[in-house]
Structure 1
Amino acid sequence: MSKRYLLLEDGTLFEGKAFGAEVCEQYGEVVFNTGMTGYQETLSDPSYCDQFVVMTYPLIGNYGVNRDDFETINPAISGLIVRECTEYPSNFRNEWALDDYLKHKNIPGLANIDTRRLVKKIREKGTMKGFMVDSIEDFNNALEQLNLYEFPSDQVKRVSTVKPYVVPGKGERIVLVDFGMKHGILREFTQRHCHITVVPYNTTADEILQLKPDGVMLSNGPGDPKDVKEGIELVKGLMGKVPLFGICLGHQLIALAFGADTHKMKFGHRGSNHPVKDLLTGEVWMTSQNHGYSVTKESLSQTSLTVTQIALNDNTIEGLEHELYDVFSVQYHPESSPGPHDSNSLFDQFLDKIKGGVIHA
């Protein structure tokens, strides 16, 4: 393997080995994921659009890549950073080595660096811009260009479906708004025999109401929720007219639509081991999470939203419910993929709400 470099905006330079894409000259936001498994679902999660993901578990690729665990067809991740990339995976479901798959999708990888040092730097200084490249001839110029680089704000547009499509079923009619949807959400509804219509991120409230849905699901997605003005307006147009359930970005859009605020976190929550406490039952769930923004707690006081769940690690908002409307949301991923299934019942609770049952987030 040839050399490859990662330059951070503070001037730190990591030298490692290249894998994946043969040629690399790529900018990305450097974030880290604490999951010990699930790298295939992670690299195919659309919420990682424009990001370099550092895996904290040191050995990645040991069980290969299979046909069943993808969260999207075309990954949006900018690059994958690992301590060691396994060349010869071993698993009965393995169909590609991680290196081969990343080559096929032209996604750059960087291995053989001190990922522990890199993650500690992110935890200390916060998420940073990075430049992954095969050679650096002019360090000062590369650093200057990196600091001048501005990420586009159209991530949701790039990962959302272009046209509506239907997954037929005989159960409740669900409209699923795709802001960068993980296929795990779709799987949960199909397992419950729902009739699902997946629509693009910029679908209007009137267009959705014309479909006569029993409920509307707002999916996860990448980027700053304040950039997704179409989603905020959509929630405003649907509130009080149809039950709403939001996950991750959908949760943040609900908060913004009802007058709350969001802020960028220092380094976010990314992994499959984040404890969340339900304030109504006292239960603690282990959850799968992937977000760099959070609902600002103080901003909720002037809204009609109630906090239902919090993160035990940092006390950030993990669940909301409206006092009057059939609207609720969670910051984490109840569809797992990867991660624990503690909160999987939220999909059943959403369907109960549609049928007139009592539910909380």
Structure 2
Amino acid sequence: MRYLPLEKICKTSRHTTFYNEAGPVDGTLIIFVHGWPELGVSWRHQLACFANLGFRVIAPDMRGYGRSSLYAQHEDYAVEHIVTDMVELLDSLNAERAIWVGHDWGSPIVWSIGAHYPERCHALVNLCVPYIPQGFARANLIPLVDRTIYPEEIFPSGQWAYWDHYVADFKGAARDFEANVGAIIRGLFRRGNPDAVDAPEVTARVTNEGGFGFFIDMLRDLPLDELLITQEEHSQYVAALTRASFFGPNSWYLNDARNIAYAARAHNGGRIDLHSLFVSAAYDVTCKTAGTRLGDPMRQSCSHLTQMVIKSGHWMAQEKPVELNSVLARWLIETVPHLWPKPA
């Protein structure tokens, strides 16, 4: 039987989450959590694969995205609120636990679910963004910057300089993006470049250049990378971000103090004892973990961690779906075989 995704809504007194669902309702539950500036549809290849393997698969639009709730205050986009959204979604599915899979900003959410609600987790999988037990915030990321690539006197915040700009000129950053949504999506969603791995990422230049204008100029005339997303998918991203705006997605970056305080309240001092898989992208420059210190806090704080590498850029689930699905399926059947669906 081939399962096609259904569009559904979880509505509580505090939040509404739109999500795609596929697979048998009695299958082991996998919830896929997207990052910036994506949608649940970013996991389309994974939904198709794992639904047809017999899993029940869910891919929500996160807070501030798509058809999920939008909020007017920056503090409404703190990690604690988003984790609560996901726990409420899990409750609405009448499930005690899920396998949680995160990417980009979805990874800090999934790591936080594991740290604060281990009893609601079968296992954790995260792509690109490693666990930072003290909180995913600039103060905890900048000390891990690779200074052989980002000399401190030139790039004091390293590849995280774009985050500084969100804080310094939030309205300007949102205005730049919202005036060029098509170019932003067309330029961001591209395959990884192995030749760029050891050079400073463009995100490191944002503060020095006075904003994102130079970056948007670089993207403006780029053709769509249709090996990553189709024209129809590009239009879907553009329509969703035009409708919802960048206020919510960019506000995820404006909660450092709240996210650090939340991380300090995690169980077991933030140590994660769940089976966890971290998949890094070999050509992801911003979140480069191979040969850098960025992954060290994760390796020190996860008791049962498996690490894998896929030769892709940051948008791994869309660039290399077959490889990612294979890595995830093999890890599940080798590490938590009791969660693998029984044959019909």
* TM-score, length-scaled by structure 1: 0.27
More strand by share: 1
* TM-score, length-scaled by structure 2: 0.28
More helix by share: 2
Larger radius of gyration: 1
